[in-house]
Chain A
Amino acid sequence: MDLDYTQQQRAFRVEAREWLEANVPGQALQSMDTEQGFAAHREWETKLNEGGWAMVSWPVEYGGRGVDLIEWLIFEEEYYRAGAPGRVNQNGIFLLGPTLMEFGNDEQKARFLPPMAAGIDVWAQGWSEPNAGSDMAAIRTTAFRDGDHYVVNGQKTWCSRAVWADWIFCIFRTDPDSERHRGLSFMLVPLDAEGVQVRAIEQLDGETGFAEVFFDNVRVPVDQLLGEEGGGWKVAMSTAGFERGLMLRSPARYQATARKLVALLRDNPEAAQRDPTLGDRVIRGWMQAEAYALQTYRTASRIIGGGSIGAESSLNKIFWSEMDLAMHETAMALLGPRAELLPTARAAGDVGDWLDGFQFALAGPIYAGTNEIQRNIAAERLLGLPRG
């Protein structure tokens, strides 16, 4: 056990920091869930890729630097330190990307990964359906084989980024007689294919961060099947592992929030005096962010050593989502009556983007599998409690 960085890792950090300092936009981009903001974020992805920073842990031939997960974590730390824009293609680079590495054939990897890294193909996720939310195995959208195509019919919902994205990765039922986890397949579908209709859904904040996607006899070539036909659940669980366990929420994100929260406490001494528990809540958030970082370095070490991400990713997802919400609730309490003001309000002062962050944090215990489902998974697969 050695928790210090190597010379190479330190040099890597410096290189990342210098590039980010020189290239991160001086002004925050508009929200990625607006048309203009989405375009601006896509441009930023292009710039990142030109610098070779789109996805540092990928092999060089797919647009990465071939570095390990520790260096990816270092890059993420520098990324958040620099205040760089959110990753509009997070569904692609953090979720589908690693899944493609694991299950894609060479042709698929060469075809999909470089444009993903470049921001040319921005990806949406299409798993949930109106009647398959927490019960994801209840998927009903079908994809039946017709020659060298699958023909897709049905509906997906809560598809993040689907309003302006280019592609969507989905799970469909390919075996009409199958039930539950069997007979599902993982497919990659362009959102401009004939028969695809996207209907934006307004979120709490009035923006369209996700959408419903309708499939009406959409023809998907068989080479866009990822993994085996009927083996989609296994592929999806791998994606979910990355989503819950490692990549979707890198620790640097929460360490940045924790630092901001400490600053907010310092800037609002009256609130902290009036309610002395606030200071304790701030330090708890700070400790949790630190613990999450340590845990993630531990997970990365394990993967580098040949291990994999298992059901413990469910514990992880519970932890980061509840920590994020707790920190934002604390921030709202520190802001007091100003908390409800939008940053554009004249009376808002330096409220920053806490309100936005608070509303986003509220989604954390719901997306990527509700925390109730994660607790079931942890109890059954890690602790070995009997299935209900």
Chain B
Amino acid sequence: MDFHFNEEQLMFSDSVRALLERDCTADVLRELWAGESGRSDELWRGLAELGLTGLLLAEEHGGLGMAEVDLVLALEESGRACLPEPLVETVLAAAPLLETLAAGGGTAASVAGKWLPRVAAGEARLALEHPANPCVADAHVAELLLLLASDGSLHAVERAHVELTRQPCNDAARRLFTVDWKPGDDSLLADAAGTTRLLDAAFDRAAFGCAAQQLGIGQKLIDLAVDYAGQREQFGRAIGSFQAVKHHLATAQVAVEFARPVVYRAACSLAIGHTDAGLHVSQAKAMADEAALLAARTSLQVHGAIGYTWEVDLHAWMKRAWALEMTWGGSAWHRGRLADAVLAGVDNNPREGQLQLQGVN
């Protein structure tokens, strides 16, 4: 039992942080918002050079063969930087799904052989359609899309063969689309029966990714408010010296701090394929979402009217927190999933230890 990250994991997250602090500043974010694509190939390649885009992929696909627990701190950093790139969609949702399928040979193996090394090298992004989400995020920059046909089967379609319609949304950095396309015999990856399990696993990984990002977003929202409250003066003193302000921020920090180990536990459980990994993810998503939402509301309140403007950067993180809360299963959905398991299982067959989700089978 050891809750420490090792040196390698810490160094990796430091290097991601350094890159993002340099190349993903608030100014860069605003520039990207204004562009049609909203994405930066250079930034994506930079992350790939650090190993981020291929981290979960096997070496045969140009990856590092590592696990979610090696990734979680870097994901947190991507939230802190409000990174617009599709880390969750490509690195957590789509690429590992394709790799799982490739193990069965056939079309999937050749598709994976072609595209996964490019993901690892930062030359391609992937998108995944999932019933949990009404739109496909970042479909416009995905060279390959994994799409669901009306019969529930899964297909791999290159971008040239789809028609995208952008769906306007609140977060200026997000790019959401509906996709028109036609399945062909050569596009089929898996039939409906085989797809369900893959989609469930992708859903858990993506929900975990959002949860980790929410930790970074929540902390950044608090940090922004702390900075502002230390500078802004009213009644002749910094507003951060008033208890009313302090107490709001301390309460938000409690929420972020206690979501943190739950997210880390989910990372470990996904990494080892724990039987309760999905439930651990749901708890992580529910708690990290709520922490980020509280941090958002608190940060806005502490900023006052200036926080309600486009000019101040606060809204970038606030809108991301709101968006992520509802994507890959909203916090209420995840709480419900946990509730079903807990109500069905507790006390019936207690485990040896209580830590790994006490008593749930």
- Chain A contacts to B: CB under 8 angstroms: 1-6, 9-10, 13, 70, 74, 77, 81, 252, 255, 258-259, 262-263, 265-266, 279-280, 282-284, 286-288, 290-295, 297-298, 300-302, 305, 312, 314-315, 318-319, 372, 374-376, 378-380, 382-388
Contact = CB atoms under 8 A, between A and B. Distances in A.
Given A301-B2, A319-B254, A383-B226, A13 B358 contact: no
Contacts of A293: 354-355
Contact of A290 (B2, B254, B260, B262): B262
Given A382-B253, A385-B246, A6 B258 contact: no
Contact of A291 (B1, B4, B229, B262): B262
B352 interface: yes
A262 B343 contact: yes
A286 B360 CA distance: 12
A259 B359 contact: yes
A372 B242 CA distance: 12
B76 to A, nearest CB: 14
Interface in B231-263: 237-238, 240-243, 245-247, 249-251, 253-254, 257-262
A256 to B, nearest CB: 9
B353 A5 contact: yes
Nearest to A375: B250
B342 interface: yes
B283 A301 contact: no
6 contacts: A2-B1, A2-B2, A77-B353, A287-B335, A300-B3, A379-B245
Given A5-B353, A383-B222, A385-B240, A283 B250 contact: no
Nearest to B252: A383
B286 interface: yes
B28 interface: no
B357 interface: yes
Given A3-B265, A286-B342, A298-B3, A291 B246 contact: no
Q: For the complex, would chain A's binding face be called helix, strand, loop or mixed by DSSP majority?
A: helix
Contacts of B356: 3-4
Nearest to A252: B354
B250 A6 contact: no
Nearest 4 interchain pairs by C-beta: A379-B246, A301-B3, A294-B261, A375-B250
A142 B338 CA distance: 55
A383 B354 contact: no
B69 interface: yes
Contacts of A259: 346-347, 358-359
Given A376-B243, A383-B226, A290 B4 contact: no
B294 to A, nearest CB: 13
A290 B1 contact: no
Interface in B315-360: 335, 338-339, 342-343, 346-347, 350, 352-359
B1 to A, nearest CB: 5
Contacts of B286: 287
Nearest to A6: B1
Contacts of A282: 339
Interface centre among B5, B250, B358 (most CB of A within 10 A): B250
Contacts of A305: 4
Nearest to A304: B2
A5 B1 contact: yes
Contacts of A280: 335, 339
Contacts of A258: 358
Contacts of B264: 1, 294, 298
A374 B226 CA distance: 17
A258 B347 CA distance: 11
A375 B354 contact: no
A283 B265 contact: no
B268 interface: yes
Given A280-B335, A298-B3, A385-B240, A379 B258 contact: no
Given A287-B287, A315-B253, A266 B343 contact: yes
A386 B240 contact: yes
A12 B245 CA distance: 46
Given A9-B1, A284-B335, A290-B283, 8 more contacts: A259-B359, A262-B343, A287-B287, A293-B354, A318-B251, A378-B250, A379-B249, A388-B242
Nearest to A288: B258
A385 B5 contact: no
B342 A375 contact: no
Contacts of A288: 258
Nearest to A71: B1
Interface string B285-302: 011000000000000000
Contacts of A375: 243, 246-247, 250-251
Contacts of A380: 246
B230 interface: yes
Interface string B1-42: 111111001000000000000000000000000000000000
Which of B3, B246, B258 counts the most A-chain CB atoms under 10 A from its CB? B3
Contacts of A294: 261-262, 264-265, 355
